[in-house]
Structure 1
Amino acid sequence: MMLLQIDTADIAVEDQSVTLIDLMLKGGFWMIPILLLSVVAVIIFVERFLTLRKAGETPDHFTDDIRAKVLAGDVNGAKMICAQTGTPVARMIEKGLSRLGSPLKNIEVSIENVGKIEIYKLEKNLGVLATISGAAPMIGFLGTVTGMIQAFIAIAQEEGSVSPKLLSSGIYEAMVTTAAGLTVGIIAYLGYNYLVTRMQKVIHRMEYSAIEFIDLLQEPK
């Protein structure tokens, strides 16, 4: 008899278990924008990660190869190396090579302008990812507030004493959106900072390569 009671209790606990999908469904309407933001965040992170990884693939011997070509007077060969490399650094140097013969200041300005364009391309959609990291938790909090309001309305409409089950279920369902919003926001925030760190490394490489190129042009022939 005791064994039968234990088995029945175990079955009851299993029946009351709540899966992640059940929780998401209980979160209500506000789970939809949170899920959409999570999808957008993942897409942006993957796209930016691949872009930044490609942008940082400038070979270590790139500058040495350009130096050797320029000193040998083979400007077209240097341009060919830049075209084959196809990174932001290479496009900056290629622009500088195309301005050879102009005053040094004009070459510097041309390289700087290309650098600004390349940085703008690298920063594309990072602002959206930063916005998601802040907006997702806010939407989650809003969903919790509206859910709590509905829960207390349901409690107020109950006649007689309010059961603890009704009170607790209404509250935990309302808290689901906060948990979901915070999860998406934290992941988006970490992803944003990771991408910014990688982008800064690429920008430093661009600046270093531009300085080396300008120094090369000022070397005595």
Structure 2
Amino acid sequence: MEFLTKLALAFEHGGFWMWPILLIQVSSIAIMIERAYALFVRRKISQTQFALGFEESIRRGEMDQVITKAQAASAQNPVARAIAAGAFAAKNLGGKEEIQGKMDEVLLEENAHLDHRTGFLTMLGNVATLTGLLGTISGMIKSFAAVAFANPADKASLLSAGISEAMNATAYGLIAAIPALVAYAILQNRANRLAEDLNQGGLKVYNWLSYAYEPLTAYQIKTANAKSERNNEINA
């Protein structure tokens, strides 16, 4: 209880600029919570491992099975969307360039989701620091202006009040800025690891699709020729 009382007094003595810093702090905390949930709870470093489950089906040319399996798992595994896009391109004989283009399109979109709002933490941290500095300057200006026209007996109290406002604003600005900057480093590192895992899984699938593309094409041509011969025999 005593701590809260001291905190309330410090906030009151900090002057007007304590309120903008409070708004910045609340915004940064909201972003930290949302990003931590998105990157640590909803997303796992398991996309490469998930992609390994498609190797046998791709090598056998079972594109329909690959697409169905990938689409069913796309909600929990972002790499599944890239797998489905690449398999669909391979199924339609789009070529290696089209397979890569379709997969890259999905991977770029998924990687962009990893960085949503995280960059705001550095901005908010810097703004909180600068706002605290602005509160410091404002408090010092107010202090010296009051002292200049005050009675000698009141100068000490007015000067100490102005310095108190300046120091409280500086301290609160740093209190709001430091967690935001630390959280940015942690979240950015997590996002980079998730992106590496996602891209590595996508690259493995692309390599399998690329290697299986020519055999798959030959197999499809052979199957089509066999069907055509059977049809000709039936018609004859």
TM-score (norm 2): 0.79
The equivalent position to 2:24 in structure 1, one of 37, 50, 59, is 37
CA shift in 2, pair 1:50/1:78, >3 Å: farther
Preserved CA contact (<8 Å) 1:126 1:192: yes
The equivalent position to 1:118 in structure 2, one of 110, 113, 130, is 110
Which residue identity is paired with 1:82? A
Aligned-pair CA distance for 1:176: 0.8
Equivalent position SS for 2:15: coil
Corresponding residue of 1:180: 172
Preserved CA contact (<8 Å) 1:144 1:175: yes
1:81-103 deviation line (CA, Å, top 9, x unaligned):
33325333222222212211210
Q: Percent identical across equivalent pairs?
A: 28
In the aligned structure 1, how far is the partner of 2:117 from the partner of 2:187? Answer: 11
Equivalent position SS for 1:219: helix
What are the ranges of 5 or more consecutive residues in structure 2 without an aligned counterpart? 216-236
In the aligned structure 2, how far is the partner of 1:80 from the partner of 1:45? Answer: 36
Aligned-pair CA distance for 1:41: 0.6
The equivalent position to 2:119 in structure 1, one of 123, 127, 130, is 127
In the aligned structure 1, how far is the partner of 2:68 from the partner of 2:183? Answer: 36
The answer to whether residue 77 in structure 2 is matched with residue 90 in structure 1 is no
Aligned-pair CA distance for 1:219: 3.3
In the aligned structure 1, how far is the partner of 2:171 from the partner of 2:64? Answer: 58
The answer to whether residue 43 in structure 2 is matched with residue 69 in structure 1 is no
Q: RMSD value over aligned CA atoms?
A: 2.1
In the aligned structure 2, how far is the partner of 1:204 from the partner of 1:187? Answer: 26
Corresponding residue of 2:234: none
1:36-89 deviation line (CA, Å, top 9, x unaligned):
111111111111122223233536641221112323443333234333253332
In the aligned structure 2, how far is the partner of 1:192 from the partner of 1:33? Answer: 21
1:145-194 deviation line (CA, Å, top 9, x unaligned):
01111111221221124554432232022211111111111111111111
The answer to whether residue 16 in structure 2 is matched with residue 24 in structure 1 is no
CA shift in 2, pair 1:210/1:22, >3 Å: same
The equivalent position to 1:155 in structure 2, one of 143, 147, 162, is 147
Structure 1, 138-147 or 115-124: larger mean CA deviation: 115-124
Corresponding residue of 1:55: 43
In the aligned structure 1, how far is the partner of 2:129 from the partner of 2:23? Answer: 13
Instruction: Report runs of 4+ in structure 1 exceeding 6 Å deviation.
Output: none
In the aligned structure 1, how far is the partner of 2:187 from the partner of 2:78? Answer: 16
Aligned-pair CA distance for 1:113: 1.6
In the aligned structure 1, how far is the partner of 2:70 from the partner of 2:36? Answer: 23
In the aligned structure 2, how far is the partner of 1:99 from the partner of 1:194? Answer: 37
Preserved CA contact (<8 Å) 1:89 1:205: no
In the aligned structure 1, how far is the partner of 2:33 from the partner of 2:175? Answer: 18
